[in-house]
Structures are given as structure tokens and as C-alpha cells.
Amino acid sequence: MVATKHTIVVQVANRPGVLNRVASLFRRRGFNIESIAVGGSEALGISRMTIIVDGTSPMVEQVRKQLDKVIDVIKVSDISGENIISRELALIKVRTTSATRGEIIQIVGTFRAKIVDVSSDSVAVEVTGDEAKVDSLYNLLRPFGVREISRTGVVAMTRGTADDGRGEE
């Protein structure tokens, strides 16, 4: 069975230690987290995690069920097969010289990314998009010398009126 990337949305009660409970579960069951992003949600006291895991479908189904058992977890949905919007934000600091600056600005422009800081020998670029877009911008900037990159990890939701509250049997 082939491993593929799955996007799992987890809504959790915002109680102390909840991130630890979720992370501990992944470690203990031997599941690998590719990325995890945590933040507030539309409901008070509920945080939303977007977790990207790489695994076979039965394995990811196990992840989903095990997550559902964590008492502070309110809802788990694997939205991978859905029509989803997924976005990641990255800050990339690139070395510049007077010779390369123009070209960098041009690349940043085509990606609809932004330059958010400029110094004599570097610029900081802010880019938002799906993982692939962030990856390709990063790859294009690499030859100039990337000093630092900081990525948020992917956040995701389904398109249209559906909410992510299904996923339960």
C-alpha cells in the first residue's frame, strides 16, 4: 500500500497540555508528523491544529481514531480527499548584491510574494501559498544564497459550505 500525504484537521479543547497529548500520541504510536500548525478557531476555547502526515490509508485511519480517543480532542477530520484550500506562510532571507537584487525582486513579484525587510546585503521575503508554491520559490532563491527560512506549516480547510466536522463514523 502506498504512503501519501494526508491533511488532518483536529479541533481541540484549549486546555493545558493538549498539544503535548497530541504530540505524545504521534510519538508513541510511531506516526510521523510532517508539519503541524496550531492556532485559534471560530469557537471560544477551541484551538485548531492542521497536521500533515505521510502514511498509508489504514495507518492514517488509525491516527485519526487514536486522536479521536484523546479526551481533549473534539473533532478529527482527514480532509485529504476533499476539495481543500491549504496555505503555508514562509519567511525567506536571501543574500543580495547590487547585481542580483533586481532579479530577486522580479522572482518575488511573479510569485506575488512580498519583500518585508531590506538590508544592505539581504532581503526578507514573505510568501503565502500551498506547499508546492513555497517550495518552488525557495528553490528559485536558493542559488542566490538563502540565509534563513522559517515556515509555519500548512493550515487547511475545505472549500465551499462544507465544514470539517464530518470524518466521524
Partner 1 sequence: MKITGGQIVCESLLKEGTEVIFGILGGQILPLYDTLTQYPQLKHILMGHEQGAAHAAEGYARATGKVGVCLATSGPGATNLVTGIADAYMDSTPMVAITGQVGRPFIGKDAFQEIDITGVTLPITKHNYIVTDINLLAQTIKEAFYLARTGRPGPVLIDLPRDLQVESTEFNYPSKVELTGYKPNINGHPAQLKKAAKLITEAKKPILLPGQGVLISGACRELKELAETAQLPVVSTMLGISAFPATHALYFGWLGMHGMAYANLAVQDADLIVAVGMRFDDRATSRVNAFAPKAHVIHIDIDPAEIGKNVRVDVPIVGDARAVLAALNKLMIPLEHGEWLAQLSEWQREHPSLAIREAGEVLPQYVIRQIWEATGGEATVVTGVGQHQMFAAQHFFYDKPGSFISSGGLGTMGFELPAALGAKVGRPDELVWCVAGDGSFQMTIQELSTVARDSIGIKVAIMNNGVLGMVHQWQSLFYGQRYMATTLSCPDFVKLAEAYGIPAANITCKGDVRPAIERAIATPGPFILNFVISPDENVYPMVPPGAALHEVIEAPKKEVPAWSRRNTP
Q: How far is the CB of 161 from partner 1 (least distance, A)?
A: 22
| Residues in 68-97 that interact with partner 1 by CB under 8 A | 68-75
**Cβ-contact 20, 28 below 8 angstroms:** no
Beta-bridged to residue 8, according to DSSP, are: 51, 78
Residue with cell 532571507: 93
Contact range with partner 1 by CB under 8 A, out of 1-9, 10-18, 92-100, 152-160: 10-18
Kindly state whether residue 149 participates in binding partner 1, applying the rule CB under 8 A: no
Q: How far is the CB of 61 from partner 1 (least distance, A)?
A: 7
Kindly state whether residue 162 participates in binding partner 1, applying the rule CB under 8 A: no
Beta sheet of 4-13, edge-to-edge order:
33-40, 46-55, 4-13, 73-78
**Cβ-contact 129, 114 below 8 angstroms:** no
Nearest to 125 by CA among 101, 155, 154: 101
Q: How far is the CB of 51 from partner 1 (least distance, A)?
A: 16
Nearest to 57 by CA among 123, 111, 4: 4
Q: How far is the CB of 124 from partner 1 (least distance, A)?
A: 36
Binding site for partner 1 (CB under 8 A): 12-13, 16-17, 20-21, 24-25, 28, 58, 61-62, 65-66, 68-75, 169
